[in-house]
Amino acid sequence: MAQGMSGAATAVKKPFYKQLYVQVLFAIVLGGLLGWLSPELAKNDWIKALGDGFVKLIKMAIAPIIFCTVVSGISHIQDAKKVGRVGVKALVYFEIISTFALVIGLLVGNIVEPGHGFAGKPDANAVASFAKQAGEMKSIDFVMNIIPDTMVGAFAKGDILQVLFFSILFGFALMALGERGHTLRQTVDDVAHAMFGVIAIIMKAAPIGAFGAMAYTIGRFGPQALGNLLGLIATFYVTALLFVVIVLGTVARLAGFSIFKFIAYIKDELLIVLGTSSSESALPQLMEKLERLGCSKSVVGLVVPTGYSFNLDGTNIYMTLATLFIAQALGVHLTMGEQFVILGVAMLTSKGASGITGAGFITLAATLAAIRPELVPGMAIVLGIDKFMSECRALTNLTGNGVAAVVVSWWEGELDRTKLNAGLNRTVDPSDVETAVTTG
């Protein structure tokens, strides 16, 4: 314990200029100043290449990460068999709430139109080939194109829908192997960790990418572009807040507790998430607190870890909202049919995105690449402000998973109401280990 506290103290003493958050903030400011004071220099191809290069680095890692996270998520569903119907109920709950999050993101994006009036237009040369392909592709071609010619071909071309299709098949096949597939599942998990390590290395270049993206955006589109970007941040935060208060609040009320009291109960974990931008950083503490709150130990052990792959409410809101923002900013019209496809694809690409800072940006790239590839370059527009939205994504994800554990425990009849009321009404200290008698 002392060792852990010492490690935390060491982390606090880390020089501020070495923190990625601070570096990105400085890069955004410097990029904005360059774009404002010297627009001609900011529009230089090499400045533009800084942002585009970072996006390409992210795209490079998308296919293997999507494969590993989807396969791992599906193949580990076999753990749900240990608690039977609990796993099924949890997955049903996750998909229903995730769909609400995606739909809310689409509705707000269409109503508010945060990207409307953005001075940018899609680069004709960059978009021409994509537009031509989109115009020539019929519905049947779109469906058939989901099936790759070869397994390797899906990864070689970087076609996300093809990678998703193969990943789903492989995940279910691995799940069916049961214990015989343990070694292979472990290997997939190890590869996933290695790929997230690659992303961690790539993220060190985020300040450079943010500088180039912001400088080019302001230099080409003018300072008024900042208004759109600030509007997107505000829209996203308000949308996430409405989702927590209305959707999760309604679910919590049906289960017999207050969402506001619950948020107050997990405020320490929320602060940890706020500092790291990753909801996984508070996973152990959240699980312990949920057990103290009266949730069944077996339910918490299944619902919370599974929720980190299947219940990413904040990431879902972000992806649909950011996709519409980029489309509106570039003047690309998305039909209702394409927006419904976004729902389906985002439901898959968001899986496994909760455990690493900035992963929402990666899943956004996967969604855009699958729906309208010509929108992928537009990610450079939101790169500079992604950090601000990453905080909100992680906070919403954590809150959603905590509520899920309480609701599923209640659904199963394994929620201790005495502990729940004591914890939420602060009649006991939630940090008191004496209250940590588990149920179930």
**Residue 17 within a domain:** no
**Residue 160 within a domain:** yes
**Residue 253 within a domain:** yes
**Residue 4 within a domain:** no
For 320-346, what is each residue's pLDDT tens digit?
888 888 888 888 888 888 888 877 777
For 188-205, what is each residue's pLDDT tens digit?
888 888 887 887 788 788
pLDDT for res 246: 93
pLDDT for res 254: 92
pTM, two decimal places: 0.63
**Residue 280 within a domain:** yes
pLDDT for res 362: 67
pLDDT for res 7: 41
Phi, psi of 163 (to 5 degrees): -65, -40
pLDDT tens, the chain, 440 aa long: 334 434 433 334 567 667 766 777 788 788 888 888 888 888 888 888 887 787 778 778 777 877 887 787 677 665 545 445 667 788 888 888 988 988 898 898 888 888 776 655 544 444 444 444 444 444 465 567 678 888 887 787 766 667 778 888 888 888 888 788 888 988 988 888 888 788 778 878 878 887 887 788 778 767 766 677 788 888 899 999 999 999 999 999 998 899 999 998 988 888 767 655 556 656 767 878 888 888 887 777 777 777 776 778 888 888 888 888 888 888 888 888 888 887 777 776 665 554 445 566 667 777 777 777 778 777 777 776 776 677 788 889 889 989 998 998 898 888 888 888 888 887 554 444 344 433 33
**Residue 440 within a domain:** no
Residue-number span of the structural domain to which 62 is assigned? 22-435
**Residue 11 within a domain:** no
The number of distinct structural domains making up the chain is 1
CATH code (residue 258) = 1.10.3860.10
**Residue 6 within a domain:** no
